[in-house]
Chain A
Amino acid sequence: QITLKESGPTLVKPTQTLTLTCTFSGFSLSTSGVGVGWIRQPPGKALEWLALIYWDDDKRYSPSLKSRLTITKDTSKNQVVLTMTNMDPVDTATYYCAHLHGSYHAFDIWGQGTMVTVSS
C-alpha cells in the first residue's frame, strides 16, 4: 500500500524559504518510471502543479516558479524535499506530494496535504 505524508512549517514569514518534506512508503523511488511530484492549492482555488522528480533524478519545474523551487530526493530515507524561496502571502496554500505511477504516468496516490500560511 502506497502512502505519502507531507511535513513542514504551517507558518512562514514573507521572504523566508519554505522547506517541505514528503515521506513515503510502499514504493521505491529507484524503480524505473516512478516519480514524486508536488502540487499546491490556494484556499478555494484550483490545483497548481509545482515540481516533479523521477527515479533517475530527472527534475521538472513549473516554468512560472522555476527560479524559486528546488526538488531533491533521498532514496535511502524514502523522502522527497521541496524548497521554495522568497515566500509571499500569495503562496499560502495546501501543499500536496503525490506518487507518479510508472505505467499510468499520472499522480495516482496523494498525501493528505499540509497547509502553509505566509504571513508576517
Chain B
Amino acid sequence: QSVLTQPPSASGTPGQRVTISCSGSSSNIGSNYVYWYQQLPGTAPKLLIYRNNQRPSGVPDRFSGSKSGTSASLAISGLRSEDEADYYCAAWDDSLSAPWVFGGGTKLTVL
C-alpha cells in the first residue's frame, strides 16, 4: 500500500489530453513539493516534473503538473504513442512513514 494514491490505469487516444491524479496527506503533498516520474518499459524512471510544476531541461511542455491542497495532477496534452509508460508521483514526507514516498504508479495506455 503506497503512501500516495494514484489510479492504476489511464488511457487516451493520440492527440488527446489526459490527466493522472495523485492523492496524499498533510504530511507529504500538503506541505511539500510534488514530483512526477515517467518509466518507459524496461527502463529506469525519468524525472518529468519537479517542485509541483517545473520541467527539467528537455522535457516537452506537453507535460505539466499542478497541486492543490493534498492532491496533485500530471497532465499530458497532445498525447503520443511514445507517452505509453508508467507514471509515478512522489513527495517528501514529514511524518515517520518515510522521508521520501512514491505513489503506486499509473499505467498509461495510448489507444
Contacts and interface: CB of A to CB of B under 8 A. Distances in A.
Interface string B81-98: 000000010101000111
B63 interface: no
A15 B106 CA distance: 33
Contacts of A105: 33, 50, 92
B45 A110 contact: yes
Q: Which of B46, B100, B103 has the most CB of A within 10 A?
A: B100
Contacts of B39: 47
A36 interface: no
Contacts of A112: 44
Given A46-B102, A63-B97, A111-B44, 7 more contacts: A37-B100, A46-B2, A47-B37, A48-B102, A105-B92, A107-B47, A110-B45
B100 A46 contact: no
A52 B104 CA distance: 20
Interface residues of A, number: 23
Closest 7 CB pairs of A and B: A110-B44, A104-B50, A49-B100, A47-B102, A46-B105, A60-B99, A106-B35
Nearest to A66: B98
Contacts of A39: 45, 102
A52 to B, nearest CB: 7
A100 to B, nearest CB: 9
Nearest to A113: B44
Interface string A35-74: 0010100000011110010000000101110000000000
Contacts, number: 62
A47 B35 contact: no
Contacts of B90: 47, 49, 106
A117 to B, nearest CB: 17
B40 interface: no
A24 interface: no
Interface string A75-114: 0000000000000000000001000010011111111110
B56 to A, nearest CB: 6
Given A48-B102, A60-B99, A106 B50 contact: yes
Nearest to A96: B44
